[in-house]
Amino acid sequence: MNFQDWFVLFKNQIAHTPIIEWLAVGFGVSEVLLAKKNSIWLYPTGIISILLSMFLLFNANLYAETLLSLYYLVMSVYGWVVWKERHAGKEIQVSWTTNREMSIAFLISGLGFIILYLTLRHFTDSDVPVWDAFVSSTAWAGMWLLARRKIENWVFLNISNIVAIPLLIHKKLALMAVLTLILFIVAIFGYFDWKKIYDKSKLNPAS
């Protein structure tokens, strides 16, 4: 399939995009922009997007990504609680991961991939078990780091995003693919923004 064919397919998918997918994408874009600004409001906005996305992904037989969305939901509630507890009228601090936290993140990715792949391969009708499992397991680790305010969360999330884009196009979820592309781009800026926040906190520890 050449570029023109892909473009026609993509245009047709956009033209037939249901309203629920537009809403999921709209709230998803809002969530990542709020995350980039290190705002606690990313969580309520994200929860709405997650619930809508779960419906779409399940209907597309992307079972691991549906489970990923459920995990997002749990981690969003967890992250919201953590942020509220740490918030004291100032910007919530971010930090680099420790060696132990990075080991846990890799463990989440590795074990998550194995469990999801075996489940998808043997107990579902998924035609993309490897890619579905990879996207979900790396994003699991990224969301765990996000909830803990770790700068490297953006790296894990973007590894997931770059694989998710063609997967979503393959599943005819064109608008979701566009959202993921936006998330990928914003996450690059989010990484550098959080690094600046961290550097500023070290220069002005009492501010």
Please write the tens of the pLDDT for every residue from 140-149: 899 889 888 8
* Structural domain contains residue 8: no
Distance CA 161, CA 155 (A): 10
Band the pLDDT of 205: cuts 50, 70, 90: low
* Structural domain contains residue 4: no
* Structural domain contains residue 11: no
Of the listed ranges 19-28, 65-74, 180-189, the one predicted with least confidence: 65-74
Q: What is the residue range of 166's domain?
A: 20-203
CB count within 10 Å of CB 86 equals 12
Q: State the average pLDDT over residues 67-87.
A: 77
* Structural domain contains residue 5: no
> 130 pLDDT exceeds 60?
yes
Is the model more confident about 14 or about 41?
41
* Structural domain contains residue 15: no
Domain count within the chain: 1
Bridge partners of residue 95, in order along the sequence: 150
Of the listed ranges 15-19, 40-44, 83-87, 181-185, the one predicted with least confidence: 83-87
Please write the tens of the pLDDT for every residue from 138-185: 998 998 898 888 999 999 999 999 999 998 888 877 777 887 898 899
Where helices occur in the chain by DSSP H, the ranges are: 3-15, 19-36, 42-59, 63-86, 99-123, 129-147, 153-170, 174-203
Band the pLDDT of 42: cuts 50, 70, 90: confident
* Structural domain contains residue 185: yes
pLDDT at 154: 94
* Structural domain contains residue 14: no
**How far from the centroid of its chain's Cα atoms is residue 170's Cα?**
19
The CA-to-CA distance between both ends of the chain, in Å, stands at 56
Instruction: Identify the CA nearest to 63 among candidates 141, 9, 10, 115.
Output: 115
Residues present in the chain in total: 207
pLDDT at 168: 86
* Structural domain contains residue 34: yes
> 191 pLDDT exceeds 60?
yes
Distance CA 161, CA 183 (A): 7
Distance CA 135, CA 162 (A): 9
Is the model more confident about 17 or about 69?
69
Cα torsion for 113, 107, 198, 81, to the nearest 10°?
A: 80
